[in-house]
Amino acid sequence: MKYIKAIDLWTHGDAVLSGQIKLQRGQWVRCGSQLSRFVGVKNKCLWVAHWQGSTQHTRQRFRDLCEAF
């Protein structure tokens, strides 16, 4: 599967939840104007790693969410 252009989850979140749009882990997405990384869908919730103040902290947050997922 290829990565796609970042989609806005505020607009297309329902399509991701229903499975109409399939995203792979690590895919860049937008939550409004914020660029974030997609982790997955669990219990009808979107798991996304948002900016944590630095690239290093954001990367670590993404890894932590992937482990918890």
Q: Cα 64–66–67 angle (5° rounding)?
A: 65
Find, among 49, 14, 15, the residue nearest to 30 by Cα. Answer: 49
pLDDT class for 62, splitting at 50, 70, 90? very high
Distance CA 29, CA 35 (A): 6
Domain-wise residue ranges, the chain: 7-68
Residue 56 pLDDT exceeds 80? yes
Residue 8's beta-bridge partner residues? 30
pTM recorded for the entire structure: 0.87
Residue 1 pLDDT exceeds 80? no
Distance CA 44, CA 33 (A): 23
Residue 39 pLDDT exceeds 90? yes
Average pLDDT score, the chain: 93
Which residues fall within 8 angstroms of residue 33, CB to CB, at 6 or more apart? none
